[in-house]
Amino acid sequence: MGEPKGAASAAGATEDGAELVDGFLAGDEACLAAVHRRWGPLVHALARRSLGDAREAEDVTQLVFFAAWRGRAGFVPERGTLPGWLVGIARRKIADALSARTRRTELVAAAGARLLVTAPDREVRPEAAIDRVLLADELSRLPAPQRRVLNLAFYDDLTQTQIAEVTGWPLGTVKSHARRGLHRLADRLTEADLAECAA
């Protein structure tokens, strides 16, 4: 007796590109695993080279395959190859990760500048500003929606578009919560710093 039909089909899917693509598009999780095994190293190498950080590259790789799985209906084989499509998703996720880095840097710089403006005679170390910005108890004092948006941005490195997808909120609402939360956080940091100066 030969192999069970399902096992033979899965084995074939991992070897034959067309069957693998068909299975992936049909929602076959075995094919997703095979796609990840086959092209995950390519995506990871691209992310590692662009980001220069192994852990961040691994996170981006997972995001790429999660996005590909969720959006598989958008892949049209006639328009290009599956690995080419995955690389396209990877480039967007890498760009998102780089943008998130820039936003964090700008936030830290803005918070540090705010502290310097309000307390010009006091030396403010950049690492102290970073510690204050990331301080969990300061974030916990913000209204829940603002806290959620900033937590997703700071700790999960999500873009505002990704936060909108995760929360189900309109993008404009996410932007509004982020802006208000950052303003409140900066105000709290300033108040805390002035209180330390007065002590």
pLDDT tens column, 57-92: 998 999 999 999 999 999 988 888 999 999 999 999
Per-residue pLDDT at 4: 38
pTM here is 0.49
Tokens of 165: 């997808």
Does residue 184 contact residue 138 with C-beta atoms inside 8 Å?
A: no
CATH class of the domain defined by 99-198: mainly alpha
Q: What ranges do the domains of the chain cover? A: 99-198
Does pLDDT of 21 surpass 50? Answer: yes
Does pLDDT of 11 surpass 70? Answer: no
Between CA 73 and CA 191 the distance in angstroms is 51
Does pLDDT of 5 surpass 60? Answer: no
110 phi/psi in degrees, rounded to 5? -65, -45
148-197: pLDDT as tens digits: 888 788 777 788 888 888 888 898 898 888 888 887 777 665 655 555 44
Residues 6+ apart with CB under 8 A from 77: 21
Does pLDDT of 134 surpass 60? Answer: no
Does residue 142 contact residue 152 with C-beta atoms inside 8 Å?
A: no
Per-residue pLDDT at 109: 59
Per-residue pLDDT at 103: 72
